């Protein structure tokens, strides 16, 4: 174990600007490059667990949908394991990347991921995180990427015990973190940057 002190400052964040899609999803932008856009497919073969569609729209303070955003998600597989080099609890589903990137629909801004419902994540200290998807949202006008999480409304038993959800003091805002089933296998998670239903954003 190395225990060290900060010697450098993190690079300052800057807005992704209006053209983040050129850099991160060039093919979506009409620039044929790299043989395809990264994060377009989260499943690379037959996957374990329940396959779901995870979709939503990011709204600004005027209630308008963002059409220039990029949404990335990162999640565990159906067994609660991450497809990461630093996952030390076991081997994740070999056909599931856990990471997705969406430029959103060109007209409506709706993001849509074909993924699997994540499993609960057992933390090394014995606590268990309820199934959730981590989101990171950037766009013009966002100076530093917005971090939030989508939990599943139909996992209320697990949600009640989640170490993060259970510590949120303003209980009235907790529903902003819930993805809701709107059809079999389809979960919607709309993000409101401002307004009466402002999503909880984290500094994690």
Partner 1 sequence: MSGAQETGPFDTRDRDWQPPGFAPEYKSTALRSPKHALLRFPTTLSEETSPVFGHGMLGELDNDLIVNFAAEGEMAIGPRLVVHGRVLDEMGRPVPGALLEFWQANAGGRYRHKKESYLAPLDPNFGGCGRTITGEDGAYEFRTIQPGPYPWPNGPNDWRPAHIHFSVFGHGFAQRLITQMYFEGDPLIPLCPIVGVLKSAAAVDAMTATLDKARTLPMDSLAYKFDIVLRGRRQTYFENRSEGL
- The answer to whether the Cα torsion of 178, 182, 188, 190 is positive or negative is negative
Three-class SS of residue 196? coil
CB of 45 to partner 1, least distance (A): 16
Closer residue to partner 1, CB minimum distance, 33 or 182: 33
CB of 179 to partner 1, least distance (A): 15
CB 64 within 8 A of CB 48: no
CB 200 within 8 A of CB 191: no
Q: Which residues are within 8 A (CB) of 132 and not within 5 positions of it... i.e. 6 or more apart?
A: 75, 118, 121, 149, 150, 151, 152, 162
Closer residue to partner 1, CB minimum distance, 123 or 182: 123
Distance CA 135, CA 72 (A): 6
CA atoms lying within 13 Å on the CB side of residue 114: 8
Closer residue to partner 1, CB minimum distance, 36 or 182: 36
Distance CA 43, CA 14 (A): 31
Residue with tokens 């499943």: 43
Nearest to 37 by CA among 22, 21, 25: 25
At 68, list the tokens: 């220039």
CB of 170 to partner 1, least distance (A): 8
CB of 20 to partner 1, least distance (A): 7
CB of 80 to partner 1, least distance (A): 9
Closer residue to partner 1, CB minimum distance, 13 or 156: 13
Closer residue to partner 1, CB minimum distance, 33 or 161: 33
Closer residue to partner 1, CB minimum distance, 55 or 75: 75
CB of 184 to partner 1, least distance (A): 26
């Amino acid at each position: 174990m190395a225990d060290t002190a900060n010697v450098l400052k993190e690079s300052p964040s800057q807005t992704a600007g209006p053209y983040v899609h050129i850099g991160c999803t060039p093919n979506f932008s009409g620039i044929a490059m790299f043989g395809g856009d990264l994060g377009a497919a989260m499943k690379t073969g037959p996957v374990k667990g329940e396959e779901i569609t995870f979709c939503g729209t990011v709204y600004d303070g005027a209630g308008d949908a963002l059409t220039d955003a990029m949404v990335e998600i990162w999640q565990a597989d159906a067994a609660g394991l991450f497809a990461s080099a630093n996952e030390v609890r076991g081997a994740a589903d070999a056909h599931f990347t856990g990471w997705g990137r969406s430029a959103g629909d060109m007209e409506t801004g709706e993001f849509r991921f074909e993924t699997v419902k994540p499993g609960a994540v057992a933390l090394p200290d014995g606590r268990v995180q309820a199934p959730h998807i981590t989101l990171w949202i950037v766009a013009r006008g966002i100076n530093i990427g917005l971090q939030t999480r989508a939990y599943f409304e139909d996992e209320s038993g697990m949600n009640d015990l989640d170490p993060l959800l259970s510590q949120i003091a303003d209980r009235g805002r907790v529903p902003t973190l819930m993805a809701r089933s709107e059809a079999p296998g389809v979960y919607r998670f709309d993000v409101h940057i401002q307004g009466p239903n402002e999503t909880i954003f984290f500094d994690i």
